[in-house]
Chains A and B, each alone.
Chain A
Amino acid sequence: MVSVRVNGKVESVDVPSDVPLLWVLREELGLTGTKFGCGKSLCGACTVHVDGRARRSCVTPVSAVEDREVTTIEGLLAPDGSLHAIQQIWVEENVAQCGYCQSGQIMSALALIIQVRGEVTDSDIDAVMSANLCRCGTYPRIRRAIHRTANWMKDELKSASKEGLDE
């Protein structure tokens, strides 16, 4: 038995410790939003967050995330089912084509935006997002959507710190 904490819920799964997190999410927990693309950390379709950092779940043994916080694309929705800002922007920019890689794209993008507190440059996007393959070629829209989400995050941080001052 391995205990994992996924999208805020503690789950016990009966799998050997070296089973990749990807298959635990998809087959043991029914979270199929995270996709299998290459199995070798080459395409990024399986990207999830582990303690807020982007990780390729296809090469991450489930034992490596024990007692750590795993977030998948399904975990981005608010409890009332409303979209995370990055998903809303992804929809508005019509980013997805076939859509298969987009969960991974969104998770990689969000980790980057959070990590640099919204101060995202084009070269950050080049460096980080080149790990996520898209055969439909949605890259120009991903770039646009990341800049928009980054601006949203900066506004959020600004208003949060303002609220902090007001208190």
Chain B
Amino acid sequence: MSKVTMIDRRSFLQLLGSGTGALVLGANATGCTGLNSQDLEDTFVRLGIFEPSLFLRIEPTGKILVASKYSEMGQGVLMGTATLMAEELEVSLDQIEVVQAHKSGFGMQLTGGSMSTAGLFLPVRRAGASAREMLRSAAAVKWGVRVEECIAKQGSIHHVDSAKHLPYGDLVSLAVVQPVPTDPPLKSTKDFSVIGKEGQRRVDALSKSTGSAIFGTDVQMVDKVCAYVLRSPVMGGRAETVFADTALKEPGVLDVVSFERGVAVLAKKYWQAKRAARLVEVNWTGGRVKGLNTADLADVARAYSKGPGSHRVKNVGNVEKVFEEEDTTSIELQYEYPYLSHATMEPQNCTVLMTADSAKVWVPTQAPTMVAMTIHGYFGIPKDRIEVEMTMLGGGFGRRACIDFVLEAAQLASLKPGVPIQVTWSREDDMTMGYYRPQGACRMAGVIDKDGDIIAVRSHLVSQLLFPEMGEQLDVAFPKLIPEKMRRKLAYAATGYLSNTSLMGLFEGGDLATCKYAFPNYRYEFSPIHVNVPVTAWRSVAHSYSTFIMETFIDHLTHIGGRDPLETKRQLLSEHPRYLAVLDAVVQNSDWGMPIEKGWGRGIAVSEFARSVVAQVVEAGIVNNQIVVRHVTCAVDCGLVINPDVVRAQIESGIIYGLSMMTEKIEFVDGVVQQRNFDGFPALRMHRTPEIKSILLPSDNKPTGIGEVALPPINAAVSNAIFTATGVRLTKMPLQDAWNEHVSDTLERVSKSGVTQ
């Protein structure tokens, strides 16, 4: 490494020169704090691989440009960045242009864990405040006055005692020679005029309403070659024989290449490659999941979850003794959840131009660092000869933190040096070739005393670990960087469990905490399943199932004990004021506790993700054997709100993405994924979308996450509502499948009893 230097974490700001006469500041900001990334970040800092992740540039023309390395995938990070910058720089939002940084360095750049905008809260403001102070100093020098007399307002510096004022652009040349303040004064919360303001338009709203926003699939260049990849029906299968003579004669077709990931048809245009691909005959062999049946996997996981777990992650009180006590009631419920596809609207794609010693990548990615390091690790291209240009992301949800589609495009590009190769996956590729949210099962057992109080909870989760597969990717990207021990820790943490610290994200503590119920006795166990299905983080990671499990089980125990679920939650969470506050808010703003017509019910659930706390009340019922959710009230404490409308949009987004889980599943039969397109993977659509009412709790605390936080409790709240509506407890996801099974079981029972004969 050419530039190994010890980086002081506090020296986050640097003047990056003024070659063009512009004021350019670089700032460090690591926003990914979801998965204990502090360890990772420290490692990067120790190794000296640090680069500013945020750039502020003020040009002599007055143009203000902010480049951010965070990926805009809909969550509004560009808007958040602009807002924070405008606040301290004393300009309006429309005076700032925010773009995604073109070249990625090798600092830790990963957008995930719902913490980007929250993590930028101080770094962006400091960068803006530093520039503001430098501009004030410049004006003071120019006018020969004290800096205290120079006020920054609406893109200009004004002199307090005279009518003198100069726009920022006119001060740039003087500002660049002012010292960079290391600890610039930040505005106090009460003086905020952009942060928290209603009625602001998103900075990316215009390009996304006119079709002009450039996504990965839209990357154009004159000499680009498009690839359509034929793939083994069993993922990871190899082409044994390929017959491509006919296809090669098709117009526009340049080559047909058999490689690790399949058989690629290369043509000038995508439509030419796709058309010709029909004429390629391939015999496939092998595959990493050959013979896999998810129904069998479910049977195994279910059976296993009924026994003791291989890892005891938490054991408080004396659970066994309580389960044997007299005058108590014990209840057990069996939980199951399927593999899920992220199904981003933009299918995976990547464009790579490679030469013997350089690479340029155009890609919608959440993980530009991983992209660069993968190219470096796999092809040996020097780090300073790799450029990564991030496009807009047509959805991310965790899928675009994987680099499989990048490596694949790079492999093809390495076979055609000097030619930019664009690989666009079909929807079928996207849905059948991974990555997925893991499938799993959980056995929950609880004891209530004669007063209805919950006195013990026992849990055994059986699930595939998230990170072994991520580990494969990390091996390529960072061969020596992530020690085995830390990788294992990350694997358990991401799945919902930290084994060696006896901390389990499923139930308490740490960033991955969902809920903080104070049971007198509890024991949580975990057993990993080893399956060769590629899995990764899926919006809200383990919380997409762990919150469902816990919040429905508590609800169930409460009903069995004849108690009120809200009161039980309040009692068990009495030490956690933020939880109590969102519960109060959601109850005050919904019809919780009011009568409801027959066939409908209300359910409540509460959870924590990315340090934000959320409570939901759902109204749901069964109409023509379909679960219908008609109203959701959602109260969120996400600290100080930077962009209220972005927060509301993310609440709606999390709820709707979560409600899609009522019908979505990925199943393997003999190694082949059965759901191939949106017809088999029914995501929520307009006509099934409930009315959503969002309540943002006022707070002066540091901002916390929002992109994923509204998702975890929604299926639990629905299941709880269906229970009050019908008396049927749904503990299997997708919930609609669970209802269908209930209906067919009932019909079978009725038919056996002869009632309908």
Contacts and interface: CB of A to CB of B under 8 A. Distances in A.
A113 interface: no
A2 interface: no
**What is the predominant secondary structure among interface residues of chain B facing chain A?**
loop
Contacts of B345: 35, 37, 43, 45, 98, 100-101, 133-136
A91 B75 contact: no
Nearest to B710: A137
A94 B208 CA distance: 10
Interface in B373-430: 392-397, 424, 426-427
Interface in A70-116: 72-74, 76-77, 83, 87, 90-92, 94-103, 106
Given A39-B427, A94-B645, A98-B393, A130 B686 contact: yes
B290 interface: no
Interface string A23-36: 11011101111111
Nearest to A96: B208
Contacts of B394: 35, 98-101
A138 B649 contact: yes
A139 B427 contact: no
A133 B347 contact: no
Nearest to B681: A42
B73 A137 contact: no
Interface string A149-163: 000000000000000
A64 interface: no
Size bin of chain B's contact surface? 35 or more
Nearest to B210: A87
B210 A40 contact: no
Interface in B302-358: 343-347
Contacts of A140: 652, 689, 691-692
Contact of B686 (A33, A35, A94, A125): A125
Contact of B395 (A39, A98, A126): A98
A10 interface: no
Contact of B269 (A27, A92, A98): A27
Contacts of A101: 345, 394
B346 A100 contact: yes
A97 B211 contact: no
A148 interface: no
Contacts of B206: 91
A85 B72 CA distance: 26
A116 to B, nearest CB: 16
A100 B395 contact: yes
A34 B202 contact: no
A152 to B, nearest CB: 15
A127 to B, nearest CB: 7
Please indicate which of the listed interface residues B211, B269, B397 has the most CB atoms of chain A within 10 Å of its own CB: B211
B271 A40 contact: no
A73 B689 contact: no
B259 interface: no
Nearest to B209: A90
A40 B209 contact: no
B215 interface: yes
B107 interface: no
Interface stretch (B580-588, B634-642, B653-661): B653-661
B204 interface: yes
A70 to B, nearest CB: 14
Contact of A42 (B344, B426, B677, B692): B677
Contacts of B656: 136-137, 139
A36 B271 contact: no
A101 to B, nearest CB: 5
B75 A23 contact: no
Given A23-B270, A27-B270, A99-B394, A139 B210 contact: no
A91 B176 CA distance: 36
Interface in A40-86: 40, 42-43, 45, 72-74, 76-77, 83
A26 B217 CA distance: 10
A147 to B, nearest CB: 13
Nearest to A92: B201
Nearest to B250: A16
Nearest to A86: B209
Given A42-B677, A42-B678, A130-B687, A95 B211 contact: no
B220 interface: yes
A73 B686 contact: no
Nearest to A146: B686
A101 B678 CA distance: 14
Nearest to B218: A32
A141 B651 CA distance: 12
A20 interface: yes
Please indicate which of the listed interface residues A16, A125, A127, A137 has the most CB atoms of chain B within 10 Å of its own CB: A137
Nearest to A129: B686
A30 B220 contact: yes
Contact of B201 (A20, A34, A91, A131): A91
Nearest to A38: B427
B486 interface: no
B624 interface: no
B76 interface: yes
B685 interface: yes
Contact of B392 (A31, A39, A98): A98
B750 interface: no
Nearest to B211: A33
A98 B73 contact: yes
A106 B652 contact: no
Contact of B205 (A34, A43, A90, A136): A90
B683 A87 contact: no
Contacts of A76: 210
Given A37-B345, A39-B426, A97 B76 contact: yes
Given A23-B269, A27-B269, A133 B205 contact: no
B686 A102 contact: no
Contact of B653 (A40, A129, A137): A137
A96 B685 contact: no
Nearest to B659: A137
A40 B210 CA distance: 24
Contact of A94 (B202, B218, B684, B689): B202
B210 A73 contact: yes
B271 A20 contact: yes
Contacts of B655: 137
Given A36-B347, A140-B689, 17 more contacts: A16-B275, A35-B345, A38-B427, A42-B679, A73-B210, A83-B209, A83-B210, A87-B209, A92-B201, A95-B205, A96-B204, A98-B208, A100-B345, A100-B394, A103-B211, A138-B652, A143-B686
22 contacts: A24-B271, A27-B269, A32-B214, A32-B220, A35-B394, A36-B217, A43-B427, A77-B210, A90-B209, A91-B206, A95-B209, A98-B72, A98-B346, A98-B396, A99-B392, A102-B209, A130-B688, A135-B660, A137-B652, A137-B684, A139-B656, A139-B686
